[in-house]
């Protein structure tokens, strides 16, 4: 599980570095930071990390960034291969959410059960934000393609 979280964090951070727009970079960095906190909590099972998860504002910040992206949707350059990568990450995050639910059910320790449930909630937020992000970028890509087709017709 820890390796999976670390892989997702690396993907978030890599895609943030190559993102074509500062809001996309900020969004992916936010998700990478959250995934890093997941890895810390899993790696150490520390109360401090668990408390940080509970106090996370990733949903609020993520929604603000998505709204900012939606305002610039027409001028946003989107690489189709990046969108495919984001969609793949979305699937992995959804699988992790289910895994954390399963681990919470199997755990004999109340502390670990609580932590796995919290991680499942965090993964759900991560999934919802990524899903909405993919939908927004999908609209951008559709607008790009429509613009390209319109240019081709006029030429």
pLDDT (tens, 9 = 90+) of the chain, 155 residues, equals 778 888 888 888 998 998 888 889 999 999 888 888 877 777 766 555 555 555 567 778 888 888 888 877 666 778 888 899 999 999 999 999 999 999 999 999 888 888 889 889 889 998 999 999 999 889 888 877 776 665 555 55
Q: Is the CB of residue 11 less than 8 Å from the CB of residue 85?
A: yes
- Predicted confidence at residue 40, as pLDDT, reads 78
The predicted pLDDT at position 42 comes to 76
Model-level pTM?
0.81
Please provide residue 21's backbone torsions phi and psi, each rounded to the nearest 5 degrees. -140, 140
């Amino acid at each position: 599980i820890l390796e999976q979280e670390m892989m997702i964090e690396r993907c978030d951070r890599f895609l943030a570095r190559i993102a074509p727009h500062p809001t996309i970079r900020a969004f992916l960095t936010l998700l990478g930071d959250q995934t890093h906190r997941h890895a810390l909590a899993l790696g150490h099972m520390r109360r401090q990390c668990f408390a940080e998860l509970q106090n996370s504002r990733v949903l609020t910040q993520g929604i603000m960034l998505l709204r900012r992206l939606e305002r610039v949707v027409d001028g946003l350059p989107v690489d189709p291969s990046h969108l495919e990568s984001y969609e793949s990450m979305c699937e992995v995050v959804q699988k992790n959410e289910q895994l954390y639910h399963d681990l919470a059910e199997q755990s004999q320790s109340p502390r670990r059960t609580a932590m796995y449930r919290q991680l499942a909630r965090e993964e759900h937020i991560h999934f919802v934000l990524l899903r909405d992000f993919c939908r927004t970028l999908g609209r951008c890509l559709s607008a790009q393609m429509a613009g390209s087709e319109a240019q081709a017709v006029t030429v």
